[in-house]
Every structure is written in C-alpha cells, then in structure tokens.
Structure 1
Amino acid sequence: MAKKVLVVEDNELNLKLFCDLLRAHGWMAEPVRDGREAVARAADVLPDLIVMDIQMPHVTGYELILALKADEALRHIPVMAVTAYAGREDEERIRAAGADAYVSKPISLARFMGAVNDLA
C-alpha cells in the first residue's frame, strides 16, 4: 500500500510539481491549496508525511507546523518544509517550530525526494 503525503502549497505549479513527483515515486499525494484547511485534512487523511510551503497567505507555515505539533493525533507525523527562505536563521526558525526536514526553493528533485525518503 502506498504511503500517503499531504502536500500544502498555495502555488498551483509547485503543488502540481510536488504531487506529480511524489506520485511518480509511489506515494499517494493529497493536495491542499489553503493552509487554513491543512490541519482538518491531515486529521481526515492521517498521512505518513506532510510537505508544506512556509510562505502562504492566511496561515503561515510556522503557524501551521505549531498547530500540527500541538494536536495529539497529528504530532507524530513528520513535516517537511519547502520554502524560498534559504538563510541559516530561516532553517533554524523552521526547525524550531517543529519541522523535521527543510528543503529550499528552487528545489533539486533529487534533494526533495531524498528528504522525503529520509522521513518515510
């Protein structure tokens, strides 16, 4: 049975790229376009991994990671942040919020899948 990944990304092209890439590698990808829906969708889907953008409208990735890690039923799910924020302080802040992995944009497909597989 394929592992499930929830992909939270507001940019339609990035969302399609991430989902297509994950599906090509045997994952079942569940897209979410709005961070405000992510916690509820994660509770419904109970994914094996959550891949998310940090810079989103309405709810930042930081806020979303904190909400996921505060939820007893979801806190065990690894979170991989994918973001254009590429500085050392950015990575430290993202990891401090609770992200288990960090990949900067523009992504390297090999690095992206390597990080996914490391968390699987």
Structure 2
Amino acid sequence: MENNNTHRLTNTFNLLKFTFVVVPIVAGADKFTNLLTDWEQYLNPSMTGMLPFSGATFMMIVGVIEIIAGMIVLRKSEIGGYIVAAWLALIALTLLIGGQYLDVAVRDLVMSVSALSMARLAKITV
C-alpha cells in the first residue's frame, strides 16, 4: 500500500512539475510574440507610468524571468516551485490592486497554491 501511495505522490509531483516547466516557458516566450494575448493589457496603468521604459519592454523582461523560472523548476523543482508560487502571487496582487482582470488574479492565486504544493512534494518525492 505504501508503494502505491508513493507512486501516486510521484505521479502527482511529475504532473505539477511538467505544468510549471511548460507554462512559465510558454507564457514567457509569448511575451515576445503576443500570440496568446496582448500581455500589456494586464499592466496596471499607474504602474506603467512609473516604468523607465515601455510596457512592451517590461513584458519582455517579465518573459525572460518566466522562462528562467520554468528552467529552474526543471532543474531544482523545490526552489523553482517556491519562485513560481511567489511570482504568481505577486502577479495576482498587482491585478487585484488594479481592480481589473479579477478572474485572472484568482486563477493565478490557484496556480500559485499549485506551484507551492509542487515545491512541497519535491521535498518528499525527489
């Protein structure tokens, strides 16, 4: 029975790990192409005004960070999971502060909890 539970935990961990490698890398790469969405629309206008560069440049920087985060999850899942969880929570917070895209904020909070769960599973399955 313990072996079966271990197998289930490992499978769950691997599913979450795959998700948090692929999704940040795809979303990060899309910050350069805007094929999935126009990412600048999610920027809080008051925050955009404080940037020393354009919103598009900011989103490209975000894209690089997301790609790196996905690669960290691939190599060091526990550390990467905590990074992705914090990153998603911060994104959700900025959306909540802006008062727009509340559905996306909720989705990002759920993904943050999932990334945190993956990081915790990494400790016992890897």
Q: TM-score range by the shorter chain?
A: under 0.3
Larger strand share, 1 or 2: 1
Larger helix share, 1 or 2: 2
- Name which one, 1 or 2, has greater alpha-carbon Rg: 2
Say which structure, 1 or 2, has more relative contact order (CA 8 Å, 6+ apart): 2
TM-score by length of 2: 0.27
